[in-house]
């Protein structure tokens, strides 16, 4: 239960802050195989046509690079960026089950390609896109929008498979082992707390 985990963190902190730090380091270590499984399953190359960086036009005899958009593959964050984070118990909800350690995939393009079409609520919801930066053939950068007309459906068809396409399947083979190790780590922490209380 969440309240039990909060109690464990509180007790370890009162016993010795270094013990708590080691407990949190071990949590992240246990999550590493899951992280590696996710990263391995995310393609290095863009799974969609038109979502990679491109060259666009010339200016003063030199090739000009287009400005990569937020959903350009591997723009801003590498496509396989997956960060392990221990969650703050104070921010837990009242759910009976919740993740105490999580892995965040932080590349917007990866998240979009992984989960596109899960709810279908946003397909063709707007008539036009929000403004975005675009590079013209002469190298000039402008802000523009374009009409939305079934591009999302085409993208989902091109991606194929059902969401999640990369992240959850990559994690799945490692989840049971990680859950078992996390349970053992928690049991060890409880034994440490009990020894302290018995003294």
Q: What tens digit of pLDDT does each residue of 45-61 get? A: 888 776 665 554 443 33
Q: What average pLDDT does range 194-199 have in this prediction?
A: 88
- Residue 123 pLDDT level (bands cut at 50, 70, 90): confident
- Residue 102 pLDDT level (bands cut at 50, 70, 90): very high
Region at 135 (left for phi over 0; alpha for psi -120 to 50; beta for the rest)? beta
- Residue 35 pLDDT level (bands cut at 50, 70, 90): very high
Model-level pTM greater than 0.75?
yes
Would you list the DSSP string of 96-122? Answer: S---SEEEEE--HHHHHHHHTTSS-TT
When mean pLDDT is compared across 25-29, 75-79, 97-101, the lowest value belongs to 97-101
Q: What is the per-residue pLDDT for 21?
A: 96
pLDDT at 44 over 70: yes
Q: What is the per-residue pLDDT for 42?
A: 96
- The rounded distance, in Å, linking the Cα atoms of 49 and 157 is 12
- Residue 30 pLDDT level (bands cut at 50, 70, 90): very high
Q: What is the per-residue pLDDT for 57?
A: 44
- The rounded distance, in Å, linking the Cα atoms of 156 and 165 is 11
Would you list the DSSP string of 14-82? Answer: HH-HHHHHHHHHHHHHHHHHHHHHHHHHS-SS-SSTT-S--EEEEETTEEEEPPP-TTSTTSSS-TT-E
Peptide bond connecting 75 to the previous residue in cis, omega within 30 degrees of 0: no
Q: What is the per-residue pLDDT for 50?
A: 63
Percent of the chain with pLDDT over 90: 47
Q: What is the per-residue pLDDT for 69?
A: 66
Q: What average pLDDT does range 62-82 have in this prediction?
A: 73
Question: Could you give the C-alpha distances from 171 to 35, 73, 143, 174, 182, in angstroms and in order?
Answer: 7, 21, 39, 6, 15
């Amino acid at each position: 239960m969440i309240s039990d985990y909060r109690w464990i963190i509180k007790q370890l902190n009162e016993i010795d802050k270094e013990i708590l730090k080691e407990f949190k380091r071990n949590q992240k270590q246990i999550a590493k195989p899951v992280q590696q499984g996710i990263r391995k399953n995310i393609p290095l190359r863009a799974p969609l046509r038109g979502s990679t960086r491109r060259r666009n036009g010339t200016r003063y005899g030199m090739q000009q690079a287009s400005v990569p958009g937020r959903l350009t593959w591997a723009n801003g964050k590498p496509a396989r960026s997956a960060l392990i984070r221990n969650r703050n118990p104070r921010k837990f909800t009242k759910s009976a089950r919740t993740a105490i350690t999580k892995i965040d995939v932080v590349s917007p393009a990866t998240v979009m390609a992984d989960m596109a079409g899960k709810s279908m609520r946003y397909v063709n919801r707007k008539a036009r896109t929000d403004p975005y930066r675009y590079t013209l053939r002469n190298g000039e950068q402008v802000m523009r929008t374009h009409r939305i007309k079934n591009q999302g459906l085409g993208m989902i068809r091109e991606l194929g498979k059902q969401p999640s396409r990369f992240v959850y399947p990559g994690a799945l083979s490692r989840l049971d082992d990680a859950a078992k190790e996390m349970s053992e780590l928690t049991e060890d922490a409880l034994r440490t707390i009990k020894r302290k209380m018995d003294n």
